[in-house]
Structure 1
Amino acid sequence: MIRYAVYALPGALGATDAPEAVRLREAVEACYARAKFRDLTVDARRYGFHATLKAPFRLAEGRTEAELRQVADAFAAARRPVMIAAPRPATLGHFRALLPDGDQAGLDALAADAVREFDGFRAAPNEAEIRRRRPERLTPRQRELFEKWGYPFVFDEFRFHLTLTDPVPTERSDEVDAALEEHFAEVAGVDVPLQSIALFVEPEPGAPFEMHSVHPFAPAIAASEKSEAK
């Protein structure tokens, strides 16, 4: 059955996106393409370059893809661009990801709003989906969030990250970390505007996620416009 997800994807607007976002996306896609580490990016490549806002879900009964796109359009149009502050490769559990190094309040608010706004489209997880999440390994708070929102890492458990790898074995950590630091040297630490959200779709279980539609935010307000508005 088809699953959808709401992603933050720097560079999703292509040539009309911020150049910093386009460069970052190109750097990540080039990283995924490196043959030396393809065994460590199997899931990362299947889900695609992204930061999760609303985790993958099946459509609830009575909801349609057309409605989902309409809500995504309205959600995005009501927001302004938000900054991903100075993302750098870092360790997140056993994974490697690009993590912001600065104020994340705007990203946290975007993610929290997306969780709430799109929850009406989410079908309740079936038994297989519950088992796959391994609820016995979750903290009480994560279990509470999973049962209410279908995903344990939301709100106070959320941490914005752009995934780079699958779990990295300890014996390969130094090698991978050095390679990522070198690969991202030219783009790491540069503020990256996020100017849209994207809907992704998994056509069938286990298939790669594909970009389905991109939903731009309203244009940023220039400093001169802000002054005139006062």
Structure 2
Amino acid sequence: MTPPMRAGVYWAPEVSDPLHVLGSAWLGRDAETGALVEQPPVPGIAEITGDPRGYGLHATLKPPFRLARPWDELCREVQALAAATRVFALPPLSVQNLKGFLALRETAPCPPLYALADSCVEALDGFRQPPTEAELERRRRAKLSERHEANLARWGYPYVFEDFQFHVTLTQRLDDAAREAVLPPLLAHFGAVPAMPRLVRELCVFTQAGPGAPFLIAERFPLKGA
């Protein structure tokens, strides 16, 4: 494929998982195929899901970066990382408020998940071009702590390692009234599916072709660790 402008390494539900279908419908786009999907009849849903629709249904492990090395080398390294990682159970997910965003988050600690995120950040860092000054400034608008600032300088992203927060973003940042309004139809749409038992069996590489382009799942690499 043509080398992407940016790549990220994410967790995403398997295509056979009902969460993939429901999440794609909620966001209005299937990151696996790139197809637009009809959203549920919720007032204002197109605007509420605008930003997460562009990124696709996912949880970030290695945040998006511009490539410093060839695309095929990145794929080989992610494949090797996946091959060395055991399949593990993901705790039940639930809809939670994360700093104003509604997102699916784990309901119990998951050390294998955190270890995988740490491995992705560290093992793949040599493929990352440093962030631009504009990107750094955008991150710093969040009033970073000293540790977050150190993470940003070293790893290009503030929220890594002990500051990692697994989340599958479902909305823009909303005020209290908007969250209260959208939460009932969101919960009704997903039902019991987020809490279903599921295994993490893949690492997904998402790519973005150019500025403002939607992210797509370019590769799914199976976990094969013994």
TM-score (norm 2): 0.88
Structure 2 residue aligned with 1:112? 118
The CA distance in 2 between the partners of 1:69 and 1:135, in whole Å, is 33
The CA distance in 2 between the partners of 1:83 and 1:214, in whole Å, is 18
State the shift of 1:35 in Å.
Answer: 5.1
User: Do the aligned partners of 1:201 and 1:209 also contact (CA within 8 Å) in 2?
Assistant: yes
Q: 1:135-181: per-residue Cα shift (whole Å, max 9, x none)? A: 56111111111111000010111111111111122221211111122
Q: 1:8-157 residue pairs with structure 2 within 5 A?
A: 8-11=11-14, 14-15=15-16, 22-32=17-27, 33-34=39-40, 36=42, 37-60=45-68, 63-134=69-140, 137-157=143-163
Q: Does 1:197 align with 2:213?
A: no
Aligned CA distance change for structure 1 residues 168 and 135 (closer, same or farther; 3 Å) = closer
State the shift of 1:39 in Å.
Answer: 0.5
Structure 2 residue aligned with 1:184? 190
Structure 1 residue aligned with 2:215? 209
Q: 1:213-224 residue pairs with structure 2 within 5 A?
A: 213-218=219-224
RMSD: 1.6
Structure 2 residue aligned with 1:19? none
The CA distance in 1 between the partners of 2:48 and 2:160, in whole Å, is 25
Opposite residue 66 of structure 2, the aligned amino acid is R
The CA distance in 1 between the partners of 2:86 and 2:182, in whole Å, is 35
**Larger-Rg structure:** 1
The CA distance in 2 between the partners of 1:147 and 1:141, in whole Å, is 10
User: Do the aligned partners of 1:89 and 1:184 also contact (CA within 8 Å) in 2?
Assistant: no
User: Do the aligned partners of 1:4 and 1:57 also contact (CA within 8 Å) in 2?
Assistant: yes
User: Do the aligned partners of 1:196 and 1:214 also contact (CA within 8 Å) in 2?
Assistant: yes
User: Do the aligned partners of 2:102 and 2:179 also contact (CA within 8 Å) in 1?
Assistant: no
State the SS of the aligned residue for 2:205.
Answer: strand
The CA distance in 2 between the partners of 1:35 and 1:150, in whole Å, is 38
State the shift of 1:57 in Å.
Answer: 0.4
Q: Does 1:164 align with 2:170?
A: yes
User: Do the aligned partners of 1:10 and 1:195 also contact (CA within 8 Å) in 2?
Assistant: no
The CA distance in 2 between the partners of 1:152 and 1:34, in whole Å, is 34
**% identity of equivalent residues:** 36
Q: Does 1:3 align with 2:6?
A: yes
The CA distance in 1 between the partners of 2:18 and 2:62, in whole Å, is 25
The CA distance in 1 between the partners of 2:98 and 2:107, in whole Å, is 14
Which ranges of structure 1 fall in alignment gaps of 5 or more residues?
16-21, 222-230
Opposite residue 200 of structure 2, the aligned amino acid is L
Q: Which runs of 4+ in 1 moved over 6 A?
A: none
State the SS of the aligned residue for 2:219.
Answer: strand
Structure 2 residue aligned with 1:227? none
State the shift of 1:191 in Å.
Answer: 2.3
Q: 1:180-199: per-residue Cα shift (whole Å, max 9, x none)? A: 22112231322221110111
